[in-house]
């Protein structure tokens, strides 16, 4: 696929010589290396993945379950975040939920590099440039379990490549394909749809400005250029306009869901070290900082390489304008908008991907591009190694968590309280999951296996996922009071209210430490459990998960139990 902004290095159907095979083989090898970690561990650690699993299962099973009908309402509407839920649901008749999740993660892992390839130059040069995609594949959004955003990001690049390789000339067939891609983008994620519209709009405007410049003072030619690009712009607007309009309506309806802005200096520091790429291991910080340094060196080299050459502006420089636009949005937009969180990380990620696309599309000597792609490849492989070690550790702990399913009766209510949602601290004193909280929603796997209701199902506390809690039975309101209290460290919940609102429900306590239980919320939790609940399960081998159930009426209170891990 040809990328319209970049000059190619020959005919797109060039003979594939031995030297030309090198980047193609590297591309396939890197694809395989990035897929392998998903299948090398039993439980791939993400934060929101278990929520997607239990909510799709709940939606599919609700019609035949009075319990699900009592607690949940189906959220059937034109909201975003449907795409990967539909993909996951289609896989469930064929494989288990655990395997279906792995297939969803694998699909994105393959799709994104191919989508990045769609916006790089044609021929061998484009295959070298496509290697720049791999440091961004398994970054923060992926390990957070942002299924819809990651698929949307890949679709955004596919749509941009499809539109811009034609320089915006859309016949009826091409327009229909772009319109379908726009609908899929809306169903995936609003930020991804906005990113696709931004890339295509800026790219078309940039190319139009260059055409006007080349037209000089010739009024007839300038008028012809203006009419031509106006038609292309209207075609683009017609294709993406409905999705953008729905997005604006959605944001307007949720404009009250806005958090305080992250301080400017903190945003600047995070952008400077590529923080949006860092996920489950602190050592990723060093690799992401090296990647930012490599990008800076590449920028300086590419600008120096074309200094004094004409023309000073190229069509592929639109990627710089796009990267700058994402960077401005990163600083301007709050971190939570329209009930969507981590907006800053998403814009920073798109800014870095756009900068990488400019590097790959630049008209620098082929040797320069190869040196940059080798640096990116080395960093991507190093990050895979760092993360695989941590993924193995976290997978073993998730196995310990899920082992509690045997102690929970089928179709039960469970209230998971993650005292240490990132996992225990490692040997250096850092949280095992670093930025990601793999144990915050791990109870979703237990609910998927045993049925029942997860009272900590935060997706059901919104109106943008397949299920939502019945307003009168929402535990985030009735038991905790807010999302922040339910998912605090430690959580602040009222177990007496839980016993009234969700009678018979189990409490799953993960990672309690003496320090956490010494806090006001932790102390209240310890007292209420000791007074009205009895322990029925302690996970092995580390004893990180405790399962408690309410005392039977008239039962003798147990002796005070030590909740904290040693």
What is the percentage of the chain residues whose pLDDT exceeds 90? 66
243-286 pLDDT tens trace: 888 887 777 776 665 566 789 999 999 999 999 999 999 999 99
CA–CA distance, 51 with 118 (Å, rounded to integer): 32
Q: What is the pLDDT of residue 3?
A: 40
pLDDT of residue 18: 76
- Reported as a single tens digit per residue, the pLDDT across 277-309 is 999 999 999 999 999 999 999 988 888 777 666
Q: Are 473 and 458 in contact (CB under 8 A)?
A: no
- What CA dihedral angle connects 159, 312, 124 and 168, to 10 degrees? 20
The confidence score (pLDDT) of residue 11 equals: 46
The pLDDT of residue 564 is above 70: no
Tokens 């791999």 belong to residue = 134
Q: Looking at per-residue confidence, does 172 or 438 come out higher?
A: 438
pTM, entire model: 0.92
Secondary structure (3-state) at 262: coil
Burial 87-99 (b: 16+ CB within 10 A, else e): bbbebeeeeebee
DSSP secondary structure letter of residue 470: -
359 or 78: whose pLDDT is higher?
A: 359
**Residue-wise pLDDT tens digits, 48-85:** 999 999 999 999 999 999 999 999 999 887 778 899 99
Distance separating alpha carbons of residues 60 and 478, to the nearest angstrom: 26
Q: What is the pLDDT of residue 557?
A: 56
Separation CA 392–CA 388 (nearest Å): 6
| Token reading at 517 | 């239980």
Q: Which two tokens stand for residue 398?
A: 């998730």
For the segment 210-226, the average pLDDT, to the nearest whole number, is: 86
Mean pLDDT of 87-108: 97
Calpha distance 77→466 (Å, rounded): 9
Q: What backbone phi and psi angles, to 5 degrees, belong to 493?
A: -130, 160
Kindly tell me if the per-residue pLDDT of 4 is higher than 60.
Answer: no
Mean pLDDT, the chain, integer:
89
Is residue 44 pLDDT above 70, yes or no? Answer: yes
Report the pLDDT averaged over residues 548-563: 67
pLDDT for position 1: 39
Phi-psi region of 274 (alpha: psi -120 to 50; beta: other; left: phi over 0): left
Whether residue 405 is predicted with pLDDT greater than 60 in this model: the reply is yes
Cβ distance 380 to 138 under 8 Å?
no
Q: 60-69, 223-232, 303-312, 469-478: lowest mean pLDDT where?
A: 303-312
pLDDT at 332: 92
SS3 content of the chain, % helix, strand, coil (to 5): 60, 5, 30
pLDDT in tens, 529-553: 999 999 999 999 999 999 999 987 7
Q: Residue 453: beta bridge partners?
A: 413
Predicted local distance difference test score (pLDDT) of residue 222: 87
Taking the C-alpha atoms of 22, 24, 26 and 31 in order, what is their torsion angle to the nearest 10 degrees? -170
In this prediction, residue 286 carries a pLDDT of: 96
The pair of three-digit structure tokens given for residue 324, joined into one six-digit string: 């700058």
The larger pLDDT score, comparing residue 153 to residue 462, is at 153
> Please, which pLDDT band fits residue 556 given cuts at 50, 70 and 90?
low
Closest alpha carbon to 442 in 477, 411, 400, 484: 400
What CA–CA distance (Å, rounded) separates 76 from 464? Answer: 9
Average pLDDT (312-331) is 91
In this structure, the chain runs to a length of 566
pLDDT grade for 15, boundaries at 50, 70 and 90: low
Q: Is the CB of residue 542 less than 8 Å from the CB of residue 401?
A: no
Contacts 24+ apart (CB under 8 A), 329-335: 330/267, 330/271, 331/264, 331/267, 334/258, 334/259, 334/260, 334/261, 335/259, 335/261, 335/262
């Amino acid at each position: 696929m040809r990328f319209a902004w970049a000059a190619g290095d020959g005919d797109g159907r060039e003979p594939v010589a031995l030297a030309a095979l090198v980047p193609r083989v590297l591309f396939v090898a890197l694809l395989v290396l990035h897929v392998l970690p998903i299948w090398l561990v039993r439980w791939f650690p993400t934060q929101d993945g278990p929520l997607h699993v239990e909510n799709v299962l709940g939606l599919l099973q609700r019609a035949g379950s009075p319990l699900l009908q009592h607690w949940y309402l189906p959220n059937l509407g034109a909201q975003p975040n449907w795409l990967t839920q539909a993909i996951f649901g289609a896989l469930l008749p064929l494989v288990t939920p655990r395997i279906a999740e792995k297939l969803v993660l694998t699909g994105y892992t393959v799709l994104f590099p191919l989508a990045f390839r769609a916006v790089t130059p044609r021929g061998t040069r484009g295959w070298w440039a496509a290697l720049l995609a791999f440091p961004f594949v398994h970054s923060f959004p992926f390990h957070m379990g942002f299924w819809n955003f990651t698929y949307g990001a890949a679709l955004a690049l596919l749509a941009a490549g499809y539109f811009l390789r034609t320089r915006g000339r859309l016949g009826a067939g091409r327009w229909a394909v772009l319109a379908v891609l726009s609908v899929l983008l809306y169903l995936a994620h609003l930020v991804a749809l906005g990113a696709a519209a931004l890339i295509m709009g800026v790219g078309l405007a940039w190319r139009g400005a260059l055409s006007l410049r080349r037209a000089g003072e010739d009024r007839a030619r300038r008028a012809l250029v203006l009419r031509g690009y106006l038609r292309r712009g209207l075609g683009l607007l017609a294709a993406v306009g409905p999705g953008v309009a729905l997005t604006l309506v959605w944001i307007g309806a949720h404009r009250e869901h806005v958090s305080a802005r992250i301080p400017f200096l903190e945003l600047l520091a995070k952008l400077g070290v590529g923080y949006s790429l860092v996920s489950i291991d602190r050592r990723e910080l060093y690799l992401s900082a090296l990647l930012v340094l490599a990008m800076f060196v590449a920028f300086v080299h590419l600008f120096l390489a074309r200094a004094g050459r004409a023309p000073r502006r190229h069509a592929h420089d639109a990627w710089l304008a796009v990267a700058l636009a994402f960077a401005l949005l990163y600083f301007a937009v709050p971190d939570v908008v329209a009930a969507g969180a981590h907006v800053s990380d998403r814009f920073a990620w798109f800014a870095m991907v756009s900068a990488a696309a400019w590097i790959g599309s630049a008209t620098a000597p082929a040797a320069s591009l190869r040196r940059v792609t080798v640096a990116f490849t080395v960093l991507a492989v190093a990050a895979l190694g760092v993360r695989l070690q941590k993924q193995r550790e976290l997978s073993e702990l998730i196995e310990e968590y899920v082992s509690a399913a045997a102690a929970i009766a089928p179709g039960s209510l469970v209230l998971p309280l993650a005292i240490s949602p990132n996992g225990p601290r490692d040997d250096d004193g850092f949280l095992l999951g670093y930025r990601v909280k793999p144990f915050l929603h791990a109870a979703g796997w237990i609910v998927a296996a045993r049925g029942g209701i997860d009272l900590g199902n935060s997706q059901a506390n919104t109106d943008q996922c397949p299920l939502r809690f019945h307003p009168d039975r929402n535990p985030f309101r009735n038991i905790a009071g807010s999302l922040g209290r339910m998912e605090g460290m430690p959580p602040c919940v009222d177990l007496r209210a839980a016993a009234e609102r969700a009678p018979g429900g189990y409490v799953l306590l993960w990672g309690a430490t003496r320090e956490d239980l010494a806090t006001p919320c932790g102390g209240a939790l310890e007292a209420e459990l000791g007074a009205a609940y009895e322990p029925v399960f302690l996970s092995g081998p580390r004893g990180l998960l405790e399962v408690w159930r309410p005392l039977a009426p008239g039962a003798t209170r147990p002796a005070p139990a030590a909740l904290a891990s040693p």
